[in-house]
Amino acid sequence: MAQIKIYGLASALRPVRRQLSDAIHSCLVDALQLPADKRFHRFILLEPEDFIYPPGRSERYTILELSMFEGRAVETKKQLIRLLFERLQPLGIAPNDLELTIFETPRHDWGIRGVPGDELGLTYRVDV
């Protein structure tokens, strides 16, 4: 399980929202081995007055927050990070304009489809 929040300026992200979702999801499938049908993305599209960021970033500055079950190897998460930097560049999001954070929580701290996450039968592995 992984849920993604994508923050950025509405004017910059709205035109590429679908391509951005596809690129992010391809990274999750390749690095975390998530099934192709497990896509949970939320776009938080902000107006300039609601998105304050440091100098040296462009209007394409984007923040990704990835919430996922704990259990992936450090190298797997590093691979995910590298893939995100690589695959978002063609969409105009340069490495300097991308920041991301991975938040991992135990499965028992999730509630999904009426049960705690650690009681949920998964069709994929988390310990990759």
Does residue 17 carry a pLDDT above 90?
yes
Q: Over range 32-46, report the average pLDDT.
A: 96
Q: Over range 50-54, report the average pLDDT.
A: 95
Summarised one tens digit per residue, pLDDT across range 95-128 is: 999 999 999 999 998 899 898 888 888 888 888 9
Kindly state whether residue 9 falls inside one of the protein's structural domains: no
Q: How far, CA to CA in Å, does 85 sit from each of 1, 30, 55, 72, 90? A: 21, 14, 20, 19, 10
Main-chain phi, psi angles of 70, to 5 degrees: -75, 160
Looking up residue 53, the CATH number of its domain turns out to be 3.30.429.10
Given CA atoms 65, 66, 72, 76 in this order, what sign does their dihedral have? negative
Kindly state whether residue 111 falls inside one of the protein's structural domains: yes
Kindly state whether residue 123 falls inside one of the protein's structural domains: no
- According to the model, what pLDDT value does residue 118 have? 86
Number of domains comprising the chain: 1
Instruction: Find residue 41's DSSP bridge partners.
Output: 4
Kindly state whether residue 62 falls inside one of the protein's structural domains: yes
Kindly state whether residue 76 falls inside one of the protein's structural domains: yes
Q: Which domain holds residue 53?
A: 14-118
Does residue 47 carry a pLDDT above 90?
yes
